A = this chain, B = another copy of it.
């Protein structure tokens, strides 16, 4: 059963999420913003940041842990910077507000650097950085997150997976889109192995004593993820440093919660108060020919002879592009039947209908 997938139209997922969110009195425009980010996450193949998480958002709104209406406010501002109060609104509401502001500033003075406090989970980081592409600008987005990562030499989690996203436009709609956790892998990958009863590769996580472990349950119970780079000998301290860098851009500048002061990811009985950072840089303020150079940089790497015949050399954003193309060919987004059924049950429990259709099976 776990391998059976069914196809849902993009518009169907969008409407379903909106209805579920509105059923707990989320303002319609906020429900729409959230649905758009989650659908985009699924469409790009990052299912851990999509429909799959809908129940968490609904529960938080229902419990009053997250605000269902209102607008973010600017607390401090210059022509190039802003500090935004997210007013505990849904992450995408805060993120869209900030990114729009950063882009406006970059149009005026070449760069916009906007930091938000009192925000919430915002879905995939690339959703925000990519908004700059439409304006032919570089976009960046960073967020701190609940502690899951153990610093090099330590035994205890003090950092989130603190993602970095940067998007840059090439010619003819091409682009570079980096969207990465600063841990070696995301938590979801470890969870999948635990569910399947398989071991994880060395270099993903450690046990409660800080020892490298290939047992996913040890990593998930008392242990933690390790920073990008793995052990110190292969540069794990650099991944740890990058995680701290994201915290400097987010919690430090924002005055939000940070590091171990952020609630754990299973804890939804207090506000998140996340810090987030959104940047837009306008290439027009620098050397002419940016898009052409970007296209050539991408071409140089994509056209390299690969080590394995079937595994072409890619650039950041290519795997997601391939997943989007697959969805377009299929005519919708493929989901595990299990996930769809779970979501339909959830919707029924909060009185939402109609359910997602489960009649289009695919391989």
Contacts and interface: CB of A to CB of B under 8 A. Distances in A.
A253 interface: yes
B176 A111 contact: no
A162 interface: no
A203 interface: yes
A251 B168 CA distance: 13
Given A80-B79, A109-B80, A253 B151 contact: no
A230 interface: yes
A103 to B, nearest CB: 14
A251 B283 CA distance: 12
A235 interface: yes
B297 A252 contact: yes
A234 interface: yes
A259 B297 contact: yes
A63 interface: no
A100 B307 CA distance: 44
A281 to B, nearest CB: 6
Interface residues of A, number: 85
B258 A297 contact: yes
Given A109-B80, A229-B229, A209 B307 contact: yes
A234 B201 contact: yes
A288 B230 contact: no
Residue with the highest number of chain B CB atoms closer than 10 Å, among A253, A254, A286: A286
Contacts of A242: 164, 178, 180, 242
A245 interface: yes
B230 A287 contact: no
Contact of A154 (B184, B209, B307): B307
Interface in A72-120: 76, 78-81, 83, 109-111, 113, 115, 117
Report copies per complex: 2
A253 B286 contact: yes
Given A201-B234, A234-B184, A300-B259, A244 B316 contact: yes
Contacts of A290: 252-253
Contacts of A304: 151, 153-156, 158
Residue with the highest number of chain B CB atoms closer than 10 Å, among A76, A115, A185, A287: A287
Contacts of A210: 307
Interface in A176-216: 176, 178, 180, 184-185, 201-204, 209-211
A326 interface: no
Contacts of A115: 286-287
A348 to B, nearest CB: 39
A290 to B, nearest CB: 6
A176 B235 contact: no
Interface string A36-67: 00000000000000000000000000000000
A319 B234 CA distance: 17
Interface of A: 76, 78-81, 83, 109-111, 113, 115, 117, 138, 151-156, 158, 164, 166, 168, 176, 178, 180, 184-185, 201-204, 209-211, 228-230, 233-235, 237-242, 244-245, 247-248, 251-256, 258-260, 281-283, 285-290, 293-294, 297, 300-301, 304-308, 311-316
Given A78-B285, A180-B242, A247-B297, 12 more contacts: A80-B109, A81-B285, A83-B287, A153-B304, A154-B307, A202-B234, A228-B238, A229-B235, A230-B234, A244-B316, A251-B293, A255-B286
